[in-house]
Chains A and B, each alone.
Chain A
Amino acid sequence: MSTGSFENWAGNILEIGPIYPFVGSEFILFLAGMAFWIAWQIWQIGLEKRTYNQEKQQFGNAEVLRKIVGAEDPKNP
């Protein structure tokens, strides 16, 4: 039993072809990879939106912003 398309290296190596496991599943792997990529992008955009909203609520008022910008000002630490 082997998950690959061969069980030993004997004979003509050229007849083996692909040496990764589960040969024949490539298109399903491709679809799974594409789905993961698109899902990740959608999740990340949602996460970023929530983060900005939260930051705006917490620190977005003029007084806090003045303090933060003031901390960067060498004349007005």
Chain B
Amino acid sequence: MDNELSSLVVIFTEFYYWLTVVLMFLIHVGFCMYEVGASRHKNHMHTLMKNTMLIPLVTITFFFFGWWIYFAFPNGPWITGGITFEDAMQARAWDPLMGAHMGGAGDPGGWARINGVFWAAFLLFSWTAASIVSGSVIERIQSGGFWILAVAIGSVFWIIDAAWGWHSGGWMVRLLGYHDAYASGVIHAIAGGFALGVLAVLGPRIGKFAADGTPRNINPRNPWLVTIGLFLIYTGFWGFYVACNVPIWDVQDGDGVFFSATNIYLAPTTLSAITMNFLMSLAGGLMAGYWVSKGDAFWTYSSGLAGIIAASAGNDLYHPIQAMLIAIVGVIFMYNTHYFVERKFKIDDAVGAVAVHGYAGFFGVVIAGFMLWGYPSSPDASFASINPLGQFLGAIIMFGVLGFLPGWIIAKILNGMGLLRIPHEVELMGLDMAASIESQKEEQGIIDAEREAIAKLGN
């Protein structure tokens, strides 16, 4: 920070991540609107509070231990090495660099101005992972049980997968050539898989399936809120994409310097490229969604998101028309898989989150293995190159090993402790009904008192 140019790079980078956090906040405004719009009137407030309170709980736990996991576990541990304690020093909750700090001798890694904003950008991904699960389980999960699940996916499992496959030294990148630039697998497939694991234990809402097993649509009660919510998620997704980059980095291998934006693996890309690919995959997703659902608004909007997710793993490198075509195929895949799983396994995914995030994310990771076959996964030439098998194994690890399995196990434990499903009677009456009846009684009391006051005036 002792000359203008290097200070400008540092302060620009600090501001850059801060801005992504503000944009990503809109994802959560969108998720709240979306979930409330999809729930029935008798469950609105419970649905809102369930999503809202994951924000503080994931925030504090991500501060206490989540951030440390990212820097400590790139080797597994014990796959390509041990726990990297030295690299994770600045991410310990009690490290001075986790507070306001001026740098200097206590900051040899130069973290003083980046640690907080970088932590916050990752934290907003954590909220997203937990919010994805939140939508699928509405109207029948206990809040306390859900918040334990939210901390597990938001502050533990997704950040383990980030250390493995979304870190410049992650073992999956090193050994499998795993490439997932905008988190098809790292956020979406894992959260979708986790949600599916929870749903398998939680069970469907009362009335979702007819006696013969035929699924019934429980349509959104407020389609306007759902669609505006999804628009806001698109908006926040811009911040999500930009937060996955490093804004200024010397990418020249060998003599000389060449500054560029990079992906999370420190391999070069441009903001221009990802902007075009974002929009073209959104467009492909929307058009495919409208096509497969025959113009259903809920699925069309959701497919816009699924289109982006399907192309995200390689959106740092794809041509925009490739991004669009991948989005189209990804949406057809996720839409059909959703209805197959619903019919076959009686899974009640209330907002289609497993499909939009899980299946589209899984597809996105796998397709990148074919599209980018032979590309370097990292600037480090000793790392495996991108390949279909590595990506397929990566997708299994994200969706199945770190997603479905922990979701299913934790849900089983919570269910055994009576902390997962709300009582049958409460589900029937609605989660807000008791509060609503109480509030009506109070309002009646006020109206009665006002009538009495008017009667006295009349006398």
Q: Name the interface residues of B413-438: CB closer than 8 Å to any CB of A.
A: 419, 422-423, 425-426, 428-430, 433-434, 437
A52's partner among B99, B148, B426 (CB-CB below 8 A) is B426
Tell me whether B104 and A29 are in contact (CB under 8 A): no
Tell me whether B426 and A68 are in contact (CB under 8 A): no
Cα A54 to Cα B230 in complex, Å, equals 36
Q: Could you tell me the distance in whole angstroms from the C-beta of A4 to the nearest C-beta in chain B?
A: 10
> Secondary structure at chain A's binding surface: helix, strand, loop or mixed?
helix
- For A60, the chain B residues whose CB sits under 8 A away are 423, 425-426, 429
A17's partner among B96, B422, B423 (CB-CB below 8 A) is B96
Tell me whether B144 and A26 are in contact (CB under 8 A): no
Tell me whether B105 and A18 are in contact (CB under 8 A): no
Tell me whether A45 and B144 are in contact (CB under 8 A): yes
Q: Which of A12, A18, A41, A68 has the most CB of B within 10 A?
A: A18
Cα A38 to Cα B413 in complex, Å, equals 18
Cα A17 to Cα B63 in complex, Å, equals 20
Q: Could you tell me the distance in whole angstroms from the C-beta of A60 to the nearest C-beta in chain B?
A: 4
- For B428, the chain A residues whose CB sits under 8 A away are 65, 68-69
> Secondary structure at chain B's binding surface: helix, strand, loop or mixed?
helix
Known A45-B419, A55-B434, A56-B426: A33·B103 in contact at CB below 8 Å: no
Tell me whether B100 and A19 are in contact (CB under 8 A): yes
B429's partner among A27, A51, A65 (CB-CB below 8 A) is A65
Nearest A residue to B438 via CB reads: A58
Q: Is B300 an interface residue (CB 8 A)?
A: no
- For B106, the chain A residues whose CB sits under 8 A away are 17-18
B105's partner among A17, A45, A65 (CB-CB below 8 A) is A17
Tell me whether B94 and A26 are in contact (CB under 8 A): yes
Tell me whether B425 and A55 are in contact (CB under 8 A): yes
Q: Could you tell me the distance in whole angstroms from the C-beta of A74 to the nearest C-beta in chain B?
A: 13
Cα A64 to Cα B430 in complex, Å, equals 12
Tell me whether A59 and B437 are in contact (CB under 8 A): yes
Nearest A residue to B145 via CB reads: A45
- For A54, the chain B residues whose CB sits under 8 A away are 434
Tell me whether A52 and B422 are in contact (CB under 8 A): yes
Q: Is A1 an interface residue (CB 8 A)?
A: no
A18's partner among B64, B93, B101, B419 (CB-CB below 8 A) is B101
Q: Is A7 an interface residue (CB 8 A)?
A: no
Cα A54 to Cα B93 in complex, Å, equals 40
Size class of A's contact patch? 20 to 34
- For A65, the chain B residues whose CB sits under 8 A away are 425, 428-429
Q: Which of A44, A48, A51, A55 has the most CB of B within 10 A?
A: A55
Cα A69 to Cα B41 in complex, Å, equals 12
Q: Could you tell me the distance in whole angstroms from the C-beta of B97 to the nearest C-beta in chain A?
A: 8
Tell me whether A59 and B64 are in contact (CB under 8 A): no
- For A44, the chain B residues whose CB sits under 8 A away are 143-144, 147
- For B102, the chain A residues whose CB sits under 8 A away are 13-14, 16-19
Q: Is A73 an interface residue (CB 8 A)?
A: no
- Which A residues lie at the B interface, using CB under 8 A? 12-20, 23, 26-27, 29-30, 33-34, 37, 41, 44-45, 48, 51-52, 54-56, 58-60, 64-65, 68-69, 72
Cα A28 to Cα B151 in complex, Å, equals 22
Tell me whether B94 and A30 are in contact (CB under 8 A): yes
Known A33-B64, A59-B434: A15·B104 in contact at CB below 8 Å: yes
Cα A30 to Cα B106 in complex, Å, equals 20
Nearest A residue to B99 via CB reads: A20
Q: Could you tell me the distance in whole angstroms from the C-beta of B410 to the nearest C-beta in chain A?
A: 14
Assuming A18-B101, A19-B100, what are 16 further A-B pairs, CB within 8 angstroms? A14-B102, A15-B104, A17-B103, A18-B96, A18-B100, A19-B99, A26-B95, A33-B63, A41-B144, A48-B142, A48-B144, A55-B433, A56-B423, A59-B437, A64-B429, A68-B433
Which 6 residue pairs spanning A and B have beta carbons closest together?
Answer: A14-B104, A60-B425, A26-B94, A45-B144, A18-B96, A55-B434
Known A59-B429, A59-B437: A14·B60 in contact at CB below 8 Å: no
Q: Could you tell me the distance in whole angstroms from the C-beta of A70 to the nearest C-beta in chain B?
A: 12
Cα A15 to Cα B144 in complex, Å, equals 46
Nearest A residue to B60 via CB reads: A37
Tell me whether A59 and B433 are in contact (CB under 8 A): yes
Q: Is B42 an interface residue (CB 8 A)?
A: yes
Q: Is B57 an interface residue (CB 8 A)?
A: yes
